[in-house]
Amino acid sequence: MPHIHELIDFTSSVYIVHEGKVLLHLHAKTGKWLAPGGHIEPDEDQEQCARREAKEETGFDVELIGGAKHPDLADDASDLLPPRFMNRHVVKGSHEHVDHTYFARVTGGTLQAEDGAEMRWFTREELERNDVGMGRAVRAYALTALDEVR
């Protein structure tokens, strides 16, 4: 998707946990291990983006994990599931992303990496060893996802 603004975009990422491992992919453009995710489209919210990106990039349907939605909202409002984390980071030059970081569990589908991307399930031990030179934030979020998603 093209950028919505030259300086900043909103994104969602999803740390998918299954059988005690977290799924990450080697991003083609950056060469870094990242969680599935991408830009929030103009016609969706951050939750919808997280589910769509998970499906497009991994083939999995996911259940997002997080806080509760309020049961007594007025008809003119929709409660959104809060992300587990939010961060702002430089992507390139002066362009930044504000990322809504979700944790999720697999509810269906089969692993089908988008465009043949390298994907890998990481165990806690592999994340702690960090033999692949994973970035500090990705590693910290992945370890937290393993702690919180059962």
Domain CATH for 108? 3.90.79.10
Is 49 domain-assigned?
A: yes
pLDDT of the residue at 4: 67
Domain annotation covers residue 2: no
| pLDDT at site 94 | 82
- Number of structural domains found in the chain: 1
Residue 115 exposure: Cα atoms within 13 Å on the Cβ side: 7
Asked if residue 1 belongs to a domain, the reply is: no
* Residues 55-81: b if buried by 16+ CB within 10 A, e if exposed: bebbbbebebbeeeeeeeeeeeeeeeb
**What is the pTM for the complete model shown?**
0.91
In a domain, 3, yes or no: no
pLDDT at position 2, please?
54
In a domain, 119, yes or no: yes
pLDDT string in tens for the chain (150-residue length): 556 667 889 999 999 999 999 999 998 888 999 999 999 999 999 999 999 999 999 999 999 998 777 777 666 677 888 999 999 988 888 889 899 999 999 999 999 998 888 999 999 999 999 999 999 999 999 999 999 998
Model pLDDT, residue 150? 82
Tell me how many degrees the CA angle 54-134-3 measures, rounded to the nearest 5: 50
Domain with 110, as residue range(s), is 8-70+77-148
| Residue 140 maps to a domain | yes
